Amino acid sequence: MDRRELLKLDNQLCFAFYACSKEMMKLYRPLLSEFGLTYTQYITLLALWEKDGITVKELGSRLFLDSGTLTPLLKKLEAAGLITRNRDKSDERNVIIELTEQGRKLQQQVEEVPFNLYGKTQVSIEDITSLREQIAKFMRKMGTK
């Protein structure tokens, strides 16, 4: 492909990711709104359901979010009664994020979200799994996770 072709919008990988991400968020929005969650709150809870009791820094790294984005998000989740934020007793510079009982119970309530989302598309679970693996491999090659 010549240089001019590379400059076309439809040939930009970043634009394909961007457009796909926006469309995915549109599909997630109504599914998550019934639980009072935004997509970013949802992925934060997903990370905590996998590993509870982690530092803000570790959580931010896992989610690719900086503290300026993560702190207000965590405050909202805390105000909703889903998490607690406490200083680490062994190192007060760190803040530990833990799920509350309500936050743990929410996991069962949102279990159907991914299945409902996939049901709104014409994409098979196998295709989704394959694409996710290709993206993860691509990210590793870029030097991220």
- Amino acid (1-letter code) at residue 74: L
Mean pLDDT of the chain: 94
Q: 36-46, pLDDT tens digit by residue?
A: 999 999 999 99
Residue ranges per domain, the chain?
A: 22-111
Q: 111-124, pLDDT tens digit by residue?
A: 999 989 888 888 88
Give start and end residues of each alpha helix (H) in 1-145: 3-6, 13-33, 39-50, 56-63, 67-79, 101-109, 113-119, 125-142
pTM: 0.90
- The CATH label, of 1.10.10.10, 3.40.50.620, 1.20.1250.20, 3.40.50.1820, for the domain at 22-111 is 1.10.10.10
* 76 within 8 A of 42, measured Cβ to Cβ: no
